[in-house]
Structure 1
Amino acid sequence: MATWFLGKIRFTKEIDAGKFQTVTEAYLLDAVSFTDAEARLYDLLGDNAPDFRVISIVPMKVQEVFHVEGPEVKWYKVKIMITTFDEKIKKEKKNAASFLVNADSIHQAHDRVEEALGRVEDYEITDVALTPILEVVPYTGERTDTVAEIAKDLLDSMQHLSKKGVEVEVSINEPFPEEKKRTWNAEPEKEKPLKTGKDYSPRSKHQNYPKVDSVNYD
């Protein structure tokens, strides 16, 4: 399943001789992490807008993106309410879902989502809104699903950003279990003599070690 991030960039462009304008653009990217999303933005736009800076990257909850071949470049977010019947409690339940579709108008976006969903679900379209998204960038290859592959992708993205001159800071605030810690060291730790007296506090068998939780960058 795709994980979508809404990335916004800002840059200055010349509109007339001697006149400049600050422009903000939004892109929706399928990425495995915040850092991966930023790296994909630089890959996508680096040559076209060399002086841009990323001002925000936030997750965007979208169940599905419907791309219809054609000249339509506007992207609409369509919200629906799905009604299901819970056999256990014998009551109807309503669940919200959001979709993104390219269209020329609100009416066309409404019709395209209806056509895509068909009548397989009992649903009602509750809202159709134009988004600022200029382009949707899905993954073209096979997605990485394992932790090792995601970690490798994250490291590759960080190296890519570093080459671009973007500073990457990793915040560490959660523990790793003991078995994870041992993989970090080529040589085993030397045993330390036990302390005695009132100040003695035995070491826990599963002492906390740091784990990468999130990536922050300016």
Structure 2
Amino acid sequence: MSNWFETKVRYDKMMENGMQKKVNEPYMVDALSFTEAEARTIEELTPFISGDFSISAVKRTNISEIFWDETADKWYHVKVNFITLDEKTAVEKKTTTHILVAANDFRGALDNFMEGMKGTMADFEIASIAETNIMDVYKAKLSKTEAAPEA
């Protein structure tokens, strides 16, 4: 199971008009601890950011799953309610889950989410879909000994 951390990176970004602007951009990283999340963010961003940058915040998120789309350039937060029925009391119970979906637009986010949920036996309803300001998401890097064997 993944532990997703949101890290915020502060640096001077060159804008399209040639001006430099201080920005604080969020990234998602799969890590085991806050320290690893910070180290992985630094490792991933060092080739792309010229000059000094710092990690201004690291926080654990409640994201339980991520639906990937390599062609997408935006990330959407989908809040899903899974509906279960208590057999004893016959009362409906809703359990909220948070999923991050890559897509180019809102409709694409809905389509990618529904594609990711294909084959799910549980009843669910979408509570909300919102575009996030997350710049990029970095999966865990598994060593060769931890990686699953290829079939």
1:63 counterpart SS class? strand
- For normalisation by structure 1, the TM-score amounts to 0.60
Counterparts of residues 26-175 of structure 1 (less than 5 Å): 26-49=26-49, 50-70=51-71, 72-118=72-118, 119-141=120-142
Question: TM-score, structure 2 length as denominator?
Answer: 0.85
Question: How many angstroms does 1:110 deviate by?
Answer: 1.1
Deviation at 1:30, TM superposition (A): 0.5
In structure 2, C-alpha distance between the alignment counterparts of 1:29 and 1:89, rounded to whole Å: 41
The whole-number CA distance in structure 1 between the counterparts of 2:112 and 2:48 is: 32
CA distance in 2, matches of 1:115, 1:14: 37
Describe the superposition over 1:87-109 as per-residue Cα deviations: whole angstroms up to 9, x where unpaired: 23332111111111110111111
More strand by share: 2
CA deviations over 1:131-176 (Å, ceiling 9, x no partner):
111111111316xxxxxxxxxxxxxxxxxxxxxxxxxxxxxxxxxx
The secondary structure found in structure 1 opposite 2:121 is: coil
- Specify the code of the residue in structure 2 equivalent to 1:112: N
Determine the C-alpha separation between the residues in 1 that align with 2:7 and 2:131. Answer: 17
Shift in Å, 1:44: 0.8
Distance 1:41 1:69, change over 3 A: closer
SS in 2 for 1:69: coil
**Cα distance, 1:57 vs. partner?**
0.7
Instruction: Please identify the structure whose Cα radius of gyration is greater.
Output: 1
What's the secondary structure of 2:36's corresponding residue?
A: helix
- The aligned counterpart of 1:22 is 22
Q: Distance in 2 between matches of 1:68 and 1:13?
A: 26
Q: Deviations over 1:22-63 (max 9, x none)?
A: 122111000111111000011111233240111111111111
Q: Which residue of the partner structure matches residue 13 of structure 1?
A: 13
Unaligned runs of 5+ residues in structure 2 are: 144-151
Comparing 111-120 with 24-33, which one deviates more in the overlay? 111-120
* SS of match in other structure, 2:92: strand
More helix by proportion, 1 or 2?
Answer: 1
**Which amino acid letter does the alignment assign opposite residue 83 of structure 1?**
I
Could you tell which deviates more after superposition, 52-61 or 39-48? Answer: 39-48
Residue range with higher mean Cα deviation, 80-89 or 33-42: 80-89
Name which of structure 1's ranges 59-68 and 7-16 shifts more when overlaid on structure 2: 7-16
